Amino acid sequence: MVWARGHRSDWDYFAAESGDSAWGYDSALRYYARIENWQGLPDAQRRGVGGPVHVAQPTAPQPLAWATLEAASRLGIPRFDSPNGEMMEGPGGVAITDLRINRGQRE
């Protein structure tokens, strides 16, 4: 149920190891943008809309999730709106997980 696309450094490592730039982050990001139907805050640079894969933040995250984000923020860990956007291009951070749940059903 969790949507996790992978970090830029991972994709770029795959490209370097394979010798094929099509395995790199920029290439993978274009595929993700085509298949996603992102329901969160608009991010035309990193997220897709209208694709077959419904991706959204949980409608009611558990209190522990919010407490974890707050604790991480107090430690100086950057907080992001989604783990699959800008966070995947930098040194890390914390965010509520994106899910593959549509109308209360797993996809």
pLDDT at residue number 4: 96
Note whether 50 and 56 are within 8 A (CB). Answer: no
- 26, 41 Cβ separation under 8 angstroms: no
Q: Which domains does the chain have, with CATH numbers?
A: 8-106 (1.10.1220.110)
Report the pLDDT averaged over residues 36-52: 96
pTM for this prediction:
0.89
Predicted confidence (pLDDT) per residue in 82-105, tens digit: 999 999 999 999 999 999 999 999
